[in-house]
Amino acid sequence: MTKWQYPQSFNELYTYIDLNDRNLWYGLFFTFWTPFFWNVICKIEYHTQVFSKAFGSPKLACFTLSLLQILSSNCRNYYIKETMVNQKHFETPYNDLLVIVEYCIVAVGGLLVVTAFFRLGWFGTWHGDHFGLLLDEKVTAFPYNVVEHPMHVGGTLNFLGLALGTRSLVGLLLTMWVKGVYYVTELVEGPFTEMIYAKAAGSKKKKN
């Protein structure tokens, strides 16, 4: 049976985190850049409609720019996975069990992400409301009746599952970084989105 093998001092801890690994830094960067870039784009569009004008329609602008967001997200996922897989792993007597735990956690995370996407649709997922593409009503069905931000929770669970399955200490730290960035993103996006729908509701009442 495999014995426990993990860092037992701060000096030993550093051997599990290779700061010279470019994948680590790229993963950290794209985790921050992905929501930052999209929030900047969306705020500019909301206040100026510059992208809708440039592309000829809000739908085309949102769809095209969302492809850049998807590319950035995939870069984040790739570099974080490479970091987890290639850096030093801790060992436990339960390595095989951790792989099963990984599959279960990733399955739950994937379920949250996929069902949230189908509830919101393409434009709802990619902040179409900032482009004037508002949803008819607030989505309250599963998974939104379970967690407030299922895509963020699901994404975090996917990284957590992979970190446990690969027994990656740096992976657990990266998962905490992802969760932190998601948390700050929610603080920024939430109130602004609520403001958009409040203004739309106010304009609708005035027309009636």
pLDDT digits (tens, 9 = 90+) for 80-127: 999 999 999 999 999 999 999 999 999 999 999 999 999 999 999 999
Which tokens hold the place of 43? 């705020």
The label of the residue with tokens 């801890």 reads 13
Residue that the structure tokens 């969306």 belong to: 42
Cβ-Cβ contacts under 8 Å for 188 (sequence gap 6 or more): 39
pTM score of the predicted model: 0.92
In angstroms, rounded to a whole number, what is the distance separating the alpha carbons of residues 194 and 51? 22
The DSSP secondary-structure symbol of 192 reads H
Looking at 3-12, 25-34, 181-190, which range is the least confident one? 3-12
Q: 18-27, pLDDT tens digit by residue? A: 999 999 999 9
- Tokens of residue 184, six digits: 């700050």
DSSP E strand boundaries for the chain: none
Residue of 122, 193, 191, 155 whose CA lies nearest to 30: 155
pLDDT number for residue 201: 80
Query: For residue 10, which amino acid is it?
Result: F
User: Beta-carbon neighbour count of residue 153 at 10 Å?
Assistant: 20
Question: How many alpha carbons fall within 13 Å on the CB side of residue 70?
Answer: 9
Token pair listed for 180? 């932190």
> DSSP letter at 134?
-
Question: In Å, how far are 6, 105, 155 from 143, measured between CA atoms?
Answer: 36, 16, 14
The confidence score (pLDDT) of residue 208 equals 59
Give how far Cα 152 sits from Cα of 12, 180, 186, 191, Å: 32, 11, 9, 17
Q: What is the pLDDT of residues 35-65, one digit of tens each?
A: 999 999 999 999 999 999 999 999 999 999 9
What is the rounded distance in angstroms from the CA atom of residue 207 to the CA atom of residue 17?
59
Alpha-carbon gap, residue 26 to 77, rounded angstroms? 10
pLDDT of residue 15: 85
